[in-house]
Structure 1
Amino acid sequence: MAPNLSLLLGAFLLLLVTVQSKNHTKPPEKGFNFLQHLEGCHKGQTVKGLHELKRYLEKFGYLNYGTTSTHHHSKTTTTMSNLNHANDDEFDNLLEAAVRAYQSNYHLKVTGSLDSETIQEMMLPRCGVPDNIVNATNSFPSRKMKHPKVFDMVAQYTFFPGRPRWPLSKTRLTYSFQSSAQVVGLQTLRSVCSRAFQKWQNVSPFTFVEAPQGATGDIVIGFHRGNHNDGAPFDGSGGTLAHAFAPTKGWFHYDADENWSTNPTSMNQIDLESVAVHEIGHVLGLGHSRDRNAIMFASYSHNPIRRDLNTDDIQGIRALYSS
């Protein structure tokens, strides 16, 4: 019997070592931490991981290799060779232009290279809605043609492309809750969202009412994780916190994998209410603001937590719904 026991013991030890070695493999990087090792990169370099930066900038509206065009006199042609760079690790001209556009949008020093300030900004948890950048240049949304230049110097808000909004005849919007993952109690979520809707109701033509039980509202709010069948899968803890869709879709989704709280006391907790106020702004038609103090600024702030609308948010919603 002893030889058999020795074989069994050996097999058990081998299994234990295998399990332990698997448990000690490097865990996946959280959120946008994959950007950290790219600090200092600039045009002309080939650095492992730059393809992930390209995906990041494409996701948030700064980079598109598929529709890049070159202009020769009156003729416009698409440069197909650019498609070859979409998934490589080369810091090319288009990537530099995208980085410069990102830096300009976030009021950073426009260098085109990945300095520490740019990397720190990119790593912040944020809303999943793309920033409203026309292309990888320093041009911004069309509101410049809607208002006098003096007004535009202070206005930092944006709208979705095409300026979608709810019909001016529909000022009473209902909302309901539908989640595929249980994160917080329904009563807690109802209370948080009621306060968030009230902030927008105070400064806009809208009235927000919870839909009757069992009915689907104009706006549907819920917690979901990973791929949840809306074309915009969540990325787990860190990174993208929530997203919402332009009018009149009415979808507002929280990432269920985040550490949500109604009263955050640590850096790893995300405030339910501040994110709700932000995403409702999107549901109503506002894009991201370039004003860091605005509720519609894309990145999440731990200190201070933003729950209240500021002047830019109010100007934005009123400009969108002015007749």
Structure 2
Amino acid sequence: MTTQNENLRQLENTVEIVGTLKSKELEVKTSRAGNKYMSGKLVVSSKFDNKVQDQVIKVFIMASSKLFKGIETVKNEYRTIDADGVNAADRIRVTGEMKLNEYYNSQGKLVQFNEIKGVFFNRLDETNDQPDKAIASIETVVEGFVDKLDKDNLPTGEFKVNGFTVGFGNDVIELQNAVIGADLAASFMSLYQPGQTGRLTFKLNNYVLVEEQEVVEQAPSHGFGSTETIEANVIKDYVNNMEIIGGDMPLFAPKEYSVEEIAKAKQVRALKLQEMQQPAPPTPPANTGFGQGVSTQPNTPPINVDNQMPTNFGKDSMPDF
């Protein structure tokens, strides 16, 4: 049984993206403590299922990491569609892991979405015939299934799958938009019961679905009779989900997540959400000898390894590690 002070057991979590580098926004920064790191994002354009799928990959790597040289090469040498044109852009392969980004917005609403954190970056030469892909293989604790409804609130045959995985440092990662199609739903739900753990394979969908409808409008009379104009009304629907396309048999003891471990993970998750709603503790005033001093040092964000992003590290913040 997991006790209060024990770490949660980490589950396997791997993402693989193969495609053409569309854009890159990478910047070398320095923390208040003088430590250098690279942060930013890449957008990789993959073509599969007759669709263009743009995957955003977040980057955070400390200069002290063995991975830093590789991301420096990406920043300085890799060519992108946006900057160099589609014919000159590099095809790349990125491996990483699925994370959970969440925050309370200015209206007090909790915003949550999964994002890919890149770890390894490889440029593919012209002879590499590996097809484009956006795949995740994640050991998942399945919590349940919910009918996915259409615009008229009728079941589509697809299901939303509720579940989570666990990353380094007690990081409970909820899968926010995991779905399974009607063709696999019955088989999946007969094999996996709520509370079971197994390695699932996800296709990462992120594309624009465009539908054109003809709209007939009555036009004003011109001279005699009447005329009509026909215009194309373009409707855009954005598809962004993690579609389950397969999986292994459920894990059994000692590899499966036990009832006690699941309960502990839920406690960790509830505590994190509670802490997110609380304001940061005030920074102790500096000792200025007299009057009231103010410290300019922010609270130190937790960070454990060279390429683990601090949990409260934002775009405009200057970390103190």
The alignment's TM-score, normalised by the length of structure 1, stands at 0.22
Greater share of helix: 1
Greater share of strand: 2
The alignment's TM-score, normalised by the length of structure 2, stands at 0.22
